[in-house]
Amino acid sequence: MSALKIAHTNFTVFDLQKSLAFYIEILGFQEMRRHEAPDGSYILVYLGDGTGGHQLELTWLKERKDPYQLGDNEIHFALTTNDYDAVHAHHKALGLTLWENEAMGIYFVADPDGYWIEIVPEGRLS
């Protein structure tokens, strides 16, 4: 059997523009490609960190009228950084929703829909 590679993770979002602003302006992602349904019923936007490989797919559905209820929201993905203290201070200064685990030396930041993104110092748990 041939090896499988992770292609992307999907988050379905309520407000695409607000989500794009979060991922591009706050987390530094880049829009890699986009697909819009010919009938306008959905938009898929693929974001990456510029290094290739794994991407985040944001799905927006036109018929959605209410924000998503994520329940216990145990789903997340992790980002690493070589300047953890500066990134942490920046996110805190922006007033983002953070959940911190000081014992592990990591924290989580919530996106506009309430999905958690784990921030990890490079080389730790990555």
pLDDT of residue 72: 73
Residues forming beta bridges with residue 4, ordered by sequence position:
none
118 is catalytic: yes
Domain check: are 4 and 53 in the same one? yes
pLDDT at 126 over 50: no
Say if 94 falls within a structural domain: yes
pLDDT of residue 69: 86
Angle CA(122)–CA(53)–CA(98) in degrees, nearest 5? Answer: 45
Domain check: are 7 and 45 in the same one? yes
For the stretch 25-68, pLDDT in tens is: 999 999 999 999 999 999 999 999 988 789 999 999 999 999 98
Q: What is the pTM of this model?
A: 0.86
Handedness of CA 32, 37, 40, 42 (dihedral sign): negative
Residue partners of 36: CB distance under 8 A and separation at least 6: 42, 43, 44
Domain span at residue 55 reads 1-63
For residue 67, CA distances in Å to 32, 36, 42, 64, 75 come to 25, 21, 16, 8, 17
Domain with residue 2: its CATH number is: 3.10.180.10
Catalytic residue among 36, 57, 74, 118: 118
Domain total of the chain: 2
For the stretch 66-107, pLDDT in tens is: 998 887 767 888 999 999 999 999 999 999 988 999 889 999
